[in-house]
Amino acid sequence: MPIERIVIDNFKSFRHLDLPLNAHMNLVVGDNEVGKSTLLEAIHAVVTGQLHGRNLAYELTPYLFHQPTVQEYLGALATGTPASPPRISIEAYLGADAALASLRGTNNSLRLDTAGIRLLVELNDDYREEFNAYLQQHQGAVSLPVEYYTVRWYSFANNGVTARSIPFDSTIIDTHGIKTLSGADRYIAGIIEQALTPAQRVSLSLSFRRMRQSFSEEADVAAINAYLTEHTGDISHRALTVGVDTSPRSTWETSLSPYLDELPFTQAGKGEQSAVKMKLAMHAAGAAHVLLIEEPENHLSYSSMTQLIDKIAALSTAQQVIIATHSSFVLNKLGVDNVILFSAQGQMKLDQLPSDTHDYFMKLPGHDTLRLILAKQAILVEGPSDELIVQRAYSDHHGVAPMAHGVDIISVKSLAFKRFLQIADRLRIQAKVITDNDGDIAVVQERYAEHINAIYYDSDESAPSLEEQLIKANSLAELNTVLGKAFADEVALLNVPSPNRVLLSAAGSGKTTLLVRQALERPGRRIAIVTYTLENLEEIRRSFEAHAGAVPAHVTLHSWYGFLLRQCIRPYQAALCPEPRIETILFVEGVTNNRAPRTQVARHYLAGNRMYSDRAADFAVRCDELTQGQVVARLAAMYDELYIDEVQDLAGFDLDLVERLLKSEIAITLVGDTRQATYATNYAQRYSQYRGPNLAALFQIWEADGLCRLDHRLTSLRCVQALCDMADTLYPQMPRTQSGNGEVTGHDGIYLVAPGDVAAYMQEFAPTVLRHDRRQACDGLPAVNFGQCKGRTYSRVLIFPNGPLTQYLRTADAARITAPPKYYVAFTRARQSVAFVYAGACALPGHQLYAPASADA
Domain assignment present for 337: no
Do you find a cis peptide bond into 580, omega within 30 degrees of 0? yes
For the ranges 491-495, 497-501, 623-627, 711-715, which has the lowest average pLDDT? 491-495
Residue 716 CB contacts under 8 Å (≥ 6 apart), including other chains? 506, 507, 508, 509, 724, 737, 738, 739, 740, 741, 828
Q: How far apart are CA 186 and CA 714, in angstroms?
A: 64
Rounded Cα–Cα distance for residues 737 and 712 (Å): 10
pLDDT over threshold 70, residue 108: yes
pLDDT tens-digit readout, 832-851: 999 999 999 999 999 999 99
| Residues 503-562 pLDDT 10s | 999 888 888 888 999 999 999 899 999 999 888 999 999 999 999 999 999 999 999 999
Segments forming the whole domain that contains residue 433: 355-458
Counting the structural domains of the chain, the total is 5
Integer Cα distance of 763 and 674 in angstroms: 36
In this structure, the answer to whether residues 478 and 540 fall within a common structural domain is: no
Do residues 512 and 605 share a domain? yes
Kindly report the pTM of this predicted structure. Answer: 0.60
Residue 634 sits at the vertex; the CA angle it makes with 628 and 639, to the nearest 5 degrees, is 140
Same domain, 407 and 484: no
27 beta partners: 323, 339
Q: How many CB atoms lie within 10 A of CB 140?
A: 6
Instruction: Give pLDDT, residue 345.
Output: 44
The two beta strands, 749-753 and 738-739, are: unpaired
Q: Which of 28-37, 45-54, 168-177, 225-234 has the highest mean pLDDT?
A: 45-54
Q: Residues 548, 650: one domain? A: yes
Q: Are residues 366 and 511 in the same domain?
A: no
Burial status of residue 320 (CB atoms within 10 A of its CB: 0-12, 13-18, 19 or more): buried
pLDDT of amino acid 139: 84
Among candidate residues 384, 460, 421, 170, the one with its CA nearest the CA of residue 287: 170
In a domain, 798, yes or no: yes
Does 511 lie in the same domain as 487? no
Task: With respect to residue 434, please indicate whether it lies within any of the assigned structural domains.
Answer: yes
Q: How confident is the model at residue 416 (pLDDT cuts 50, 70, 90)?
A: low
3-state secondary structure of 464: coil
Burial class (CB in 10 A: 0-12, 13-18, 19+), 275: buried
Tell me the C-alpha distance between 515 and 192, whole Å: 48
Q: Which region among 159-173, 372-386, 789-803 has the lowest average model confidence (pLDDT)?
A: 372-386
Does residue 71 sit in the same domain as residue 162?
yes
Q: Is the pLDDT of residue 605 over 90?
A: yes
pLDDT at 86: 96
Q: How confident is the model at residue 854 (pLDDT cuts 50, 70, 90)?
A: low
Indicate the residue among 713, 730, 754 that finishes a domain: 713
**How many residues can be counted in the chain?**
857
Give me the CATH number covering residue 677.
3.40.50.300
Give the integer Cα–Cα distance in Å for 413 and 417: 7
User: Last residue of a domain, which of 124, 151, 166?
Assistant: 166
Q: Are residue 412 and residue 474 in the same domain, yes or no?
A: no
Residue 7 forms beta bridges with which residues?
Answer: 18, 91
Rg of the chain, C-alpha, whole Å? 35
* Percent of the chain at pLDDT exceeding 70: 81
- Kindly tell me the burial class for residue 118, based on how many C-beta atoms sit within 10 Å of its own C-beta (0-12, 13-18, 19 or more): buried
Residues 705, 570 share a domain: yes
Do 565 and 697 belong to one domain? yes
Backbone angles phi and psi of 700, in degrees to 5: -65, -35
Out of 666, 693, 713, a domain closes at 713
Between 461 and 612, the higher pLDDT residue: 612
- The answer as to whether 45 is a domain residue is yes
Q: Give residue 737's pLDDT.
A: 93
Number of Cα atoms under 13 Å in the Cβ half of residue 192: 20
Q: What is the pLDDT of residue 131?
A: 95
Give 370-419 as a DSSP string.
Answer: HHHHH-SEEEEESSHHHHHHHHHHHHHHHSS-GGGGTEEEEE--GGGHHH
- Distance, in Å, from the CA atom of 166 to the CA atom of 528, rounded to the nearest integer, reads 20
For residue 766, what is the domain's CATH number? 3.40.50
Task: Please give the pLDDT value at position 361.
Answer: 37
DSSP 569: I
Which one-letter DSSP state was computed for residue 160? B
Q: For residue 410, what are the contacts with CB-CB under 8 A and spacing of at least 6? A: 368, 371, 372, 375, 378, 379, 380, 381, 387, 420
Tens of pLDDT, residues 316-337: 677 888 888 766 556 556 655 5
| SS3 labels along 505-555 | ECCCCCHHHHHHHHHHCCCCCCEEEEECCHHHHHHHHHHHHHHHCCCCCCE
Q: Clarify whether residues 471 and 450 are in a common domain.
A: no
- C-alpha 271/C-alpha 297 separation (Å) is 10
Task: Taking residues 432-459, report their average pLDDT.
Answer: 89
User: Are 685 and 831 members of one domain?
Assistant: no
Q: Is residue 200 part of a domain?
A: no
Which own/partner pairs from 444-452 qualify as long-range (CB within 8 Å, at least 24 positions apart)?
A: 447/418, 448/417, 448/418, 448/421, 450/418, 450/421, 451/418, 451/421, 451/425
In a domain, 515, yes or no: yes
- Distance in angstroms (rounded) separating the CA atoms of residues 84 and 93: 26
DSSP string, 294-351: E-TTTT--HHHHHHHHHHHHHHTTTSEEEEEE--HHHHHHH-GGGEEEEETTEEEETT
Element (H, E) at 636: helix 630-638
Amino acid in the structure at residue 853:
A
Judge whether residue 40 has pLDDT over 90: yes
- Residue 418 lies inside a defined structural domain of this protein: yes
pLDDT at position 437 is 85
Residue 640 lies in a domain: yes
Mean pLDDT of the chain: 83
| Residue 81 C-alpha from the chain's centroid | 42
User: Per mean pLDDT, which range of 213-217, 434-438, 693-697, 767-771 is the poorest?
Assistant: 213-217
pLDDT by residue (tens digit) across 782-825? 999 998 898 889 999 999 999 999 999 999 998 888 889 999 99
- Cβ atoms within 10 Å of 355's Cβ, excluding its own: 8
